[in-house]
Chains A and B, each alone.
Chain A
Amino acid sequence: MIGGAQTMKTTVRIYSDVLQGRRETIEALMHSRAGVAFALKMFVIVMLVAGLGQWFGVPVAIQQPLVSERIQQLGDTVQEAGNQIIDAIDEYMNAITRENLPDTLTRLIDDLVSQGVDAGVKALQQALREAGVPPELLDQIMARLFPNEAPISAQVVQLLASPLHERWFMSRFGLHPDQVAWVDEQINAAAGQVNETIDRMQAEAEALEPPLGARTSRLIRLFGRWLSTPFASVSRWLFVALVGLLVAKLLGGRATLAQHLAAIALSAGPAVLFFVAFIPVMRYVLPLPYSMAIHYFGRVLALIALAWSGLILLKTLAVAHDFSFWKSAGVLVLTWLTLWVIVPVASLAALAFVLGG
């Protein structure tokens, strides 16, 4: 336990020295087998620490809806839209009826009531009864004429109003009210079919989900991506580093391949500042301004890390190859020129030579 604590203390101390660019520590690391291994391990640990920012993606991974949930949302939206359409049609029809028919109907009702339809019908009924019409027959006649309990005047209005409705709809839309009802029915039926289809799609989408569950799988894959961080980073720089070694050797550099790579690995010390830059886009779980603030703050820290790493790289290359600070800078510039100017021009020249024959 004490040994472990001591090792940790030493490791932190060396890391601190590297961040300060202390020549003596860098030199000692470069010229020992354990130092080169330390540099490579430090690079992996630094990148893993920086990559921890990716874990801020956990809320997104959990909250982002699954395919089956998206289908369910779609179903709800479709159903809501269908209901809204039906309601809108009904409301529109009612509004039209109320707007255009009331004058006619009101006048009709007024006329009927003023003429005493209820009283007249009742008087007629009484007269017929007194004239000897059997009560059963009289009841049958009345039941056929006025089939419900509503006041007789209202039923008379209804009898008259229905043909009026029909005529009005026909003249306005070329539609019979039955046809409007048919449209309503069709929309209802279609909504039912859509719901059925969506239920089926949802069941099929659920069947496609990973055996460990979609959200658990997302978290496991996030862990995998985090583990890959050092390798993804080094794959971007290794080729450049190897070209840099060739350039340094041509300029009289003395480092071995392992020392050169260790020098580059050590320069990644400040890369822990990439932590914020690794935080994924948070706009699904945070308001957009906060998400943008995190993004740009991460970029600022990344810029500082790059500048700091660049300075350490100049130092580590100088120590590894026994160069001056400015010669190290020259190696970097020449490496850039080799990659972006000399190699493309030489390739074009070689191609021209081959095709020119």
Chain B
Amino acid sequence: MSEQLELAGVRAVASLSARRADDSTSALGLTREALLLNEDAYAAVRDSSSPLWRGFAALLWILLIALVARGLALLFGLLTSPRLDVLQSQIYEALTNLGFYQAQAQQSSDFAEQFRLGYLGLWQALRLLGGYPSAAGTASIAISLLIYLLLGWLVYGLVVHVIARWLGGRASLGQTLGALALAYAPLLLTAIVIVPGARVPASLVFLLILVTRFQAIKTVHRLTPGYSLVALLTPYLISLVLLIGVILFVLAYGAAQIPYLEPFLQGWRLFSKFNWLW
């Protein structure tokens, strides 16, 4: 009876259509397989005659889809969101009719222009912080996405490659970069923002990219899971240490500008040395 059930289960699963990503799979198909956590997609890039270009083609598809989705999201978002531009102009009109504004505008010739620029900047900031669709916000997201994807891919790929090779990895730089380009597949999920009100948490995309990067490193370098994890996380650790260093030195630079802080700190160190007295 148990064997029959087992057989039935296996048959049922076997009847699902399984896709094996190989050299003939298109860049978009590879991206879909990577999104479904299929490690064969990275193996296909690794075994390709030009792994770098194959991965890069997938990355371009991801970028294109993400950017088009952002553009459409802006359009549909504007169609379904309150018209902030009307409110903005109403408040601007009310403010410019105030006595204070009139007096300042008469006193200083460039006050009106400065006020207008500040007012526009404030509204842009409000739009960005409030997640309101705006052309400037979408443009800034698109530019950051481009920089994050292309620069992040290259820098992260180089660091990972060095570490993976040091740990015994066997992939070439082209294979590493190609597979890591494909590992950006979870960014495709952000295409859902086309529908107003839909969103994918950034933390989810970040974690999924970690997952796909892990699979990419493990597959192309044929490393053990432990070494793959080390290769995956080391660039993040290096970035974190560098960030802490930068923050500390920026804070130190700021603190050094405060008068009497240095004698106070010296006094405090002296004081703390004698705290054993009590």
Contact = CB atoms under 8 A, between A and B. Distances in A.
Interface in B12-47: 12-20, 36-40
Interface residues of A, number: 54
B10 interface: yes
B9 interface: yes
B197 interface: yes
A331 interface: no
Interface stretch (B76-84, B98-106, B109-117, B151-159): B76-84
Nearest to B2: A24
Interface string A225-266: 101100110110011001000000100000011100110000
Contacts of B7: 24
B87 A208 contact: yes
B13 A209 contact: no
Interface stretch (B57-65, B138-146, B198-206, B252-260): B198-206
Contacts of A24: 2, 5-10
A106 interface: no
B9 A27 contact: yes
A129 interface: no
B206 to A, nearest CB: 10
Contact of A238 (B81, B196, B208): B208
A17 interface: yes
Contact of A25 (B12, B201, B214): B12
Contacts of B39: 256, 258
Contacts of A224: 195-199
A357 B78 CA distance: 54
Nearest to A14: B12
Contacts of A258: 37-39, 215
Contact of A210 (B2, B8, B80, B189): B80
A337 to B, nearest CB: 20
B195 to A, nearest CB: 4
Given A17-B12, A25-B13, A204 B90 contact: yes
- Among A222, A223, A231, A242, the one with the most B-chain Cβ atoms within 10 Å of its Cβ is A231
A234 B13 CA distance: 24
B79 A28 contact: no
A22 B189 contact: no
A28 B10 CA distance: 5
Interface of B: 2, 5-10, 12-20, 36-40, 76, 78-84, 86-87, 90, 189, 192, 195-201, 203-204, 207-208, 210-211, 214-215, 225
23 contacts: A14-B16, A17-B12, A24-B10, A26-B9, A28-B12, A28-B14, A32-B18, A34-B19, A36-B38, A37-B18, A208-B87, A209-B83, A210-B83, A211-B78, A211-B83, A220-B76, A224-B198, A228-B197, A231-B199, A235-B201, A239-B207, A257-B215, A258-B37
